[in-house]
Amino acid sequence: MSALLRHARYVLSGNPVTALAFGLFGLLLFAAIFGSAIAPYDPLATEAARALKPPSAAHWFGTDQLGRDIFSRVLVATRLDLTIAFASVILAFLLGALSGVAAGYFGGWTERIVGRIADTIMAFPLFVLAMGIVAALGNNVTNIVIATAIINYPLYVRVARAEANIRRDAGFVEAARLSGNGEARVLLGHILPNIMPIMMVQMSLTMGYAILNAAGLSFIGLGVKPPHPEWGIMVAEGANFIQSGEWWIALFPGATLMLAVFCFNLLGDGLRDIVDPRQRT
């Protein structure tokens, strides 16, 4: 563990972009945990007298058409968006990694069944598939998480299946079998831990896609229901006022969404450098 931490410090010190990504990630976590406590205004409180005010010292991001403080809403929305992203990525990892590892390790009919399921999902335009799932099940947070996990499932299956297929005849696996370990113990205790580094990178990369998917569903009216603050809803509401000159309503939630996706994409590259044993010296 100490060697990994030293290597992580080395990677971060030598790559300022990766250090920036980890800094942004810490900032997003801070906003998600403490956003409700530090928000200067109630994100749901409306006041007609301050509607459509541009950014100022009193309202850093301005106010929307109902007089709500946009900075407070962006801050509080971080928790909801990150919760949806984290939950959907963890669910996709549990389903995709376990079934993909089993498919790569056992092969045969297991690999064919898992492969056909993944191919069937990939045959649809993924965002359209997410729209259909949410429209059929109902647009609440739980169903958004399920829909996002389903469309991310093939990504984890393909990575886990390929890595398990490579390692199933490795020396440490043969040694585990000769030591009397059953197939389930070899699979979960030896192969799965060895593919976790690359799966961690995959989880980081799909976090950005999960955030975009949740925001996209909210933008078209199939995501989180108003008046709850959510980045996609706020961009959709602000889009109606761009032509009349109230650019700040859509700009700041959209910029926050862009920074979050940018952060997780860069975070994936940094994690790859940190966990890759070939990068260690």
Q: State the pLDDT at residue 277.
A: 52
Task: Identify which has the larger pLDDT, 67 or 192.
Answer: 67
CA-angle at 253, arms to 248 and 255, nearest 5°: 90
Q: How far apart are CA 236 and CA 225, in angstroms?
A: 12
- Does the pLDDT of residue 261 top 70, yes or no? yes
Q: In this predicted model, what pLDDT tens digit does every residue of 266-280 receive, in sequence order?
A: 887 767 666 655 555
Q: Look at 110-124, 145-159, 217-231 and tell me which has the smallest mean pLDDT.
A: 217-231
Q: State the pLDDT at residue 211.
A: 92
- The string over 141-180, giving b where at least 16 C-beta atoms fall within 10 Å of a residue's C-beta and e elsewhere, is bebbbbbbbbbbbbbbbbbbbebbbebbeeeebeebeeee
Percent of the chain with pLDDT over 90: 47
Q: State the pLDDT at residue 17.
A: 74
When pLDDT is cut at 50, 70 and 90, the band that residue 240 belongs to is: confident
Q: How far apart are CA 54 and CA 40, in angstroms?
A: 16
Q: How far apart are CA 111 and CA 244, in angstroms?
A: 56
Query: Average pLDDT of the chain?
Result: 86
Q: How far lies 95's CA from each of 90, 150, 153, 192, in Å?
A: 9, 9, 7, 13
Contacts of 40 (CB under 8 A, 6+ apart): 69, 71, 72
- Assigned superfamily of 2-45+61-279: MetI-like (1.10.3720.10)
Q: In this predicted model, what pLDDT tens digit does every residue of 3-51 receive, in sequence order?
A: 556 656 665 666 677 778 888 999 999 999 999 899 999 998 888 888 8
Q: State the pLDDT at residue 188.
A: 82
Q: State the pLDDT at residue 29.
A: 93
Q: State the pLDDT at residue 5.
A: 62
Q: State the pLDDT at residue 143.
A: 92
Q: State the pLDDT at residue 4.
A: 54
Q: State the pLDDT at residue 257.
A: 92
> CA nearest 43: which of 78, 74, 82?
74
Listed by start position, the domains of the chain span 2-45+61-279
Q: In this predicted model, what pLDDT tens digit does every residue of 86-143 receive, in sequence order?
A: 999 999 999 999 999 999 988 889 999 999 999 999 999 989 999 999 999 988 899 9
> CA nearest 128: which of 218, 237, 213, 203?
213
Contacts of 47 (CB under 8 A, 6+ apart): 66, 67, 68
Q: How far apart are CA 46 and CA 40, in angstroms?
A: 14
| Cα dihedral 69, 70, 75, 77 in deg (nearest 10) | 110
Identity of the residue numbered 162? A
Q: How far apart are CA 269 and CA 244, in angstroms?
A: 40
Contact 6, 281 (CB under 8 A): no
Q: State the pLDDT at residue 175.
A: 87
DSSP conformational letter for 60: T
By the 10 Å C-beta count (0-12 exposed, 13-18 middle, 19+ buried), 112 is classed as exposed
Q: In this predicted model, what pLDDT tens digit does every residue of 59-69 receive, in sequence order?
A: 999 999 999 99
Q: State the pLDDT at residue 116.
A: 93
